[in-house]
Amino acid sequence: MENQIEKDMISIFTQSVSSNFEDVKYSEEKINNLYNDSNKEEYIRILLKLIMYPYNENNENKNVYDSTLNRNVKVSMLISIKNFIKKSIHSNLENMELSTDMCIFIKHICLHVLLDINNEDIKSLQKYFFEILVNLLEFNICDDYDYLLFYIIILYINDYNYIDLVHIFNNEEKKKNQDAFKIIECIMLYIQNKEIFQNINQHNFFMEYNKILQNLETIKNIIINRNNSLNDDIINYINNTKRIYKSGDKYNLFMLNDALLYNISPEGGVPTLNNHNNNHNHNQNNNNNNNNNNNGNYYDNLSGVTTTNFDFRGKGTISKDYNNNIKSIDTNTLFHNNIMNIFSNMDCNHFKKKYIALKIIRKIIKKYKNNDYVSKYDLKIILTHIEYPVTLYFIYLFNKLNEYTNYINLKLNTSTNNFNTSNNNMINDELNICFYNMNSILMNMHVFLKIFYNINMIDLPEYYEDNFDIFFNIFYTLLLYDEDILNNYYNHLHLIKTVLKGSAVAPAGALNNMNRSMSIMSTIHNNNNNNNNNNNNNNNNNNNNNNNNNMKNTFGNSNVTLNDLLKCKEHFNQNLIKCKIMIIDVIKILSENYQDESKIYVIKLICSLIQILYKEKDKILLCHNYNCLSSSIKLIHHMNLEKNDLNPYKDKEFVEKVIERVLNHIRLKNIDIDEIIEADLEYFRHDLNNVNSFSIRSTSIYFLKTLCNNYFHLCFPILECKILTKDALLTLSSDGMDITNKSSGSILNMSNLNNTVSINKNDPCYEACNVEYKVQLIACLNHSNLTQNFYEHMIKDLMNQFLVTIKMKYNNMDVLCYNMENYNFESPQMNTSNNNNMINMNNNMNNNMNNNKCVWLRDDDMFNTPNCIYLLSILKYLLNNRNICTTNNALDIFLFLHFLLYNEKIMIHNYACLCINRIFNQILNENIYKILLESNMVQRILNRLLFLLKYNVHNKILNEYILITILRIFLIFTYKISDFYVMVLLMIDNIIKLIINDSHNPLFNHYLFELLTIIISLIYKSQVQQHIQQIEDVIITTFSQILQIYIHDFIPYVFQILSIIVDNTYTIQKIHIKILNHLYEMDLWKSTIGNVNGIICVLKSYFKKYNIFNDIIKNNMQQLFNIYHYCLSNKKLYTDSFQIILSIFTYLPLDSYESFLKPLFVLLFTFLQHYKNDIIKIKVVHSLSVFILKTNVAVFITTLDTIQDGKK
């Protein structure tokens, strides 16, 4: 039967990749039926079996597998499995849920494919297996329960071979503990499967795959039994886990062994200690045979240089836990002892596989984002696995990075440039291998830093805190790691490239030696270079073609080109920057969340962080660095460490030099001006939100503000001088500084990179940029007198100059520009014959104005580039100094801001919006409100903002800043602008319909529905029945559409607003009954992920109106308890389900649900016994407490007695 099913499935998926459209359409229907079938999990098992078959187009066609299971068919199968799993994860439907058995099975298969499989056909599918695994890790409970962490730590990051593991497991302490014994049994079964996967082929597949299934079945039973027996006993669980990794009180299961890395054994030759890469190493055996005699003596030679005392930089408990668990061979010591060719048999995939294993650990941890009970519970178990071995591995990687860096320089400094000598051939091999592995080491370190960051985001493990000294010593060294130290090697690579390019005149021996130097890299990549190899076989006498082939074709027996190695150089730079960024982010999170624990360490790192400002050029790195420095300043302040000897900011000269460097990033340059003029909404967001942006200028401004807030007495005289200087922009900064320590005496000698100011005095934008620069400095200082003086002597005059022009030329904007009444939003091309939808106000300004309206004003004189910078400077000043608005200047300021709403530049009209919002967001003199209302200024601004909102939405721009300003106006002038209520209500309804399928801006959605909530509340308060009817006729109809097509981003707001509508209902209408009946439909609860609280919120409003809706509520009480039972049994909804009974107990009379009390209590107590964690206990006790409080304790006791009598 199964054979026939397999044939049918192969046929379906073969059709799915057909070029015939009808076949594809037919197969889609069949595939959907597979996953809707009750036997879908069996079908998934069969699909995985088909995928795991080692297909090769050259295979002898022994069965249907060999003729049909090509890569395209397998990809189609994998995508179908992945899509189903994603649906299962995000669905509450019971028929979509994956069983625990199935999750365990798929995870194990994925792990083997990612880490063990050698078959090229299956390896090419690893991307899809990784996606499936990641989805399952996100969905499933603590992944330790599936034993993945046992496998990853013990079998992939650990260097012990299987014989060593058996010897360690053969321990009486472990054997006596039943749980530990079962864990060991699982690990050994996994090892069996591991070896089967490594050696599976066409000939042994069916027999071997059945063994895999048998082993997986045993593993699954052990895992499930353990979960059931230890679910509530975390202490026992953790102790049993530690018992695996420890014997007595010592870690002895984890070993990092350089003998495995270099393929060295006591017996001589090059056998590996653990068969990680048999196939790849086999390809190298022919090349290495000549060296076997020498290698045979390595073990004896190395015995004197093997490191027994591992290098721990700093103090920490890990150095006490360490029990010679690293067998390190120091290559630099080998060099000095004239022991050569250590890299000849090195496994270049060694760090690659560990990198994949670390990535899986990272995905396991990544799903924990909140500091809740479940996260802490799971992380305690996960940390039991990883805290010691993964930390030790990170320290080992760091030492290897330093070791290989030093080794490369030692080799280059002592070797000649003669490429024809056999000794230098070996040197080339070693240098290339060294550098390649340094890149892999950085990749591993980057993943560890991500793991470290994720864990510390939730909680600070005691083990990490105990080893802070070691961690921060490593962080300090890595932050100051200068890639220039490898310049000699990069020059060496360039020389190789030059020799190959000029190979037409190079000696043949030199080219052959170069080829051989690359052959050792054969295990680095799996590039398919068949086309290039074919080119090598063609005879071509053209020298240029020969040169290109030398660069592009493979070297010797290798499948790696020189270009691949040159790309490795780029990757090394990128990975080094990634590591530095992650270290900076780690320091930032520690300084923000764990100040007391990290204060001294973070302060010590400040100088290295400052030094990055001088040494590094990467934009993202500098942005992260500035944000971290800001956090470190706050840490010093919050911990009262300003006077601490370690605090470098105490030093006036230090602060001065830091400010000079920061100012260099704040000064506008030509590129900044271009970006401002052409800015889009995203650029504006970054410019506004300095701390969260990825703009060096924005983050440097935020840092300077933080510095000024905390060290005002040092910053003020420095910045005041620059503000009062006429040509502040031309102030020369120092040549730079060296800040390797906090002493100001040694900070004057570092060269300052890229310190030239692009804007010079001859630039037409110079004066405007000078003003903008001073505005930024004033904002950073936030000094009231200086701010007021600057307004009186600079900003006020500038604004008045613009106001004169505005009042003369643009007194009535409604005549010049479109508004809500006269613009055709549906067909904008009908609005004007002007193709650009603009009007130039310099020409024919008074001719046919009514016939030539525009959306945006364009005045080439008034809105030229320098003036745009001036306008932006004024706006930023107003934004930061809203109290400058008084009864004397309020009308002028708002006239100015209203006019700028007609400027097409994103930066200008959005900053104008925010200025209006910011000024209104304070307590103003009532006369200001009166002035603005009587002059119709508020109404004119609101009209323009509403027009811009609708205009932008029709152009698919969702601008939250316009929305929040409209919202602010309605909050301030609530009843004074009642004429706008219905217009805004209908406009919001129209906007919701326009964006219903493209709501890509969550912040916009939030403010849109918040505005709608306010408008609806105001309409209800106005008691104008005609307006209230608009809500029920228009809004509820739109909401029904949202609920019907299920717009996930809108649903929470819909329920909230429906709740308001019901709260304001005093008579029963058909629409209310329709909504209430809809809430009782089970399908709504099953499809509503994450919005159950929204439904409950609406139900609460109905329950509050029980006197009106009592008949419907009573009649549906059984259905409501059915819904509660469903939610309680759903693992995604059970915590939210308690809100249902809390609402019943709180708002409904006892007689409406009294008949359901007994089954409800039985259900609660049964659930409590099944799930014994603290969250459930708290929920149940809370619910019963509310019931007793709202009714009577006698009812509770009577119900319990009834339950007890029933049991008897």
Question: Among 461-475, 524-538, 582-596, 1057-1071, where is mean pLDDT lowest?
Answer: 524-538
The 3-class secondary structure across 134-148, one letter per residue, is HHHHHHCCCHHHHCH
Read off the pLDDT of residues 764-813 as tens digits, 9 standing for 90 and up.
999 999 999 999 999 999 999 999 999 999 999 999 999 998 888 888 88
Q: What's the whole-number mean pLDDT along residues 627-655?
A: 91
- Whether the pLDDT of residue 542 is over 50: the answer is no
Q: What's the whole-number mean pLDDT along residues 100-126?
A: 92
Ranked by mean pLDDT, the top range of 10-24, 673-687, 703-717, 1177-1191 is 703-717
Residue with tokens 């005609």: 1026
Residue with tokens 């994720």: 454
- Whether the pLDDT of residue 444 is over 90: the answer is yes
Question: Among 555-564, 1079-1088, 1125-1134, where is mean pLDDT lowest?
Answer: 555-564
Q: Which SS3 state, helix, strand or coil, does residue 812 take?
A: coil
Specify the higher pLDDT residue, 704 or 1043: 704
- Whether the pLDDT of residue 284 is over 80: the answer is no
Question: Among 247-251, 492-496, 660-664, where is mean pLDDT lowest?
Answer: 492-496
- Whether the pLDDT of residue 503 is over 70: the answer is no
Question: Among 261-270, 291-300, 702-711, where is mean pLDDT lowest?
Answer: 291-300
pTM over 0.85: no
b/e 20-47 (16+ beta carbons within 10 angstroms → b): eeeeeeebeeebeebbeeeebbebbbbb
pLDDT value of position 80:
95
pLDDT value of position 1134:
78
- Whether the pLDDT of residue 845 is over 90: the answer is no
Per the CB < 8 A criterion, the answer to whether 942 and 969 are in contact is yes
Taking the C-alpha atoms of residue 763 and residue 887, their distance in angstroms, rounded to an integer, is 38
Taking the C-alpha atoms of residue 707 and residue 719, their distance in angstroms, rounded to an integer, is 12
Mean pLDDT of the chain: 82
**Which residues contact residue 952 at a Cβ distance below 8 angstroms, ignoring those fewer than 6 apart?**
958, 959, 962
Q: What's the whole-number mean pLDDT along residues 495-507?
A: 58
Q: Which stretch of DSSP H or E encloses residue 957?
A: none
Taking the C-alpha atoms of residue 383 and residue 391, their distance in angstroms, rounded to an integer, is 11
Confidence band of 531 (pLDDT split at 50, 70, 90): very low
**Which residues contact residue 92 at a Cβ distance below 8 angstroms, ignoring those fewer than 6 apart?**
1085, 1086, 1087, 1088, 1089, 1130, 1132, 1133
pLDDT value of position 851:
52
- Whether the pLDDT of residue 33 is over 60: the answer is yes
- Whether the pLDDT of residue 1104 is over 80: the answer is yes
Q: Where are the alpha helices (DSSP H) in 262-349?
A: 278-288, 292-295, 298-302, 317-321, 331-336
Read off the pLDDT of residues 135-151 as tens digits, 9 standing for 90 and up.
988 876 555 566 899 99
Query: Starting from the edge strand earliest in sequence, which strands make up the sheet with 306-307, in order?
Result: 256-257, 326-329, 306-307
pLDDT value of position 344:
77
End-to-end CA distance of the chain: 50
pLDDT value of position 950:
95
pLDDT value of position 1175:
77
> How much of the chain exceeds pLDDT 90, in percent?
45
Taking the C-alpha atoms of residue 464 and residue 486, their distance in angstroms, rounded to an integer, is 32
Confidence band of 420 (pLDDT split at 50, 70, 90): very low
Q: CA distances (Å), 513 to each of 233, 430, 508, 521, in order?
A: 63, 13, 9, 14
pLDDT value of position 744:
38
Taking the C-alpha atoms of residue 952 and residue 828, their distance in angstroms, rounded to an integer, is 12
List phi, psi (to 5°) of 498: -65, -45
Per the CB < 8 A criterion, the answer to whether 649 and 636 are in contact is yes
What residue spans define the domains of the chain?
1-140, 146-249, 489-560, 643-780, 783-936, 1070-1208
Q: What's the whole-number mean pLDDT along residues 307-325?
A: 84
pLDDT value of position 324:
86
Taking the C-alpha atoms of residue 924 and residue 8, their distance in angstroms, rounded to an integer, is 76
Q: What's the whole-number mean pLDDT along residues 14-37?
A: 90
> How much of the chain exceeds pLDDT 70, in percent?
82
Q: What's the whole-number mean pLDDT along residues 123-132?
A: 94
pLDDT value of position 1019:
93
Confidence band of 1165 (pLDDT split at 50, 70, 90): confident
Read off the pLDDT of residues 743-764 as tens digits, 9 standing for 90 and up.
433 443 333 433 345 688 888 9
pLDDT value of position 415:
64
Read off the pLDDT of residues 380-416 as tens digits, 9 standing for 90 and up.
888 999 999 999 999 999 999 999 999 998 888 876 5
Taking the C-alpha atoms of residue 324 and residue 310, their distance in angstroms, rounded to an integer, is 8
pLDDT value of position 839:
45
Specify the higher pLDDT residue, 693 or 1094: 1094
- Whether the pLDDT of residue 283 is over 90: the answer is no
pLDDT value of position 932:
96
pLDDT value of position 1093:
83
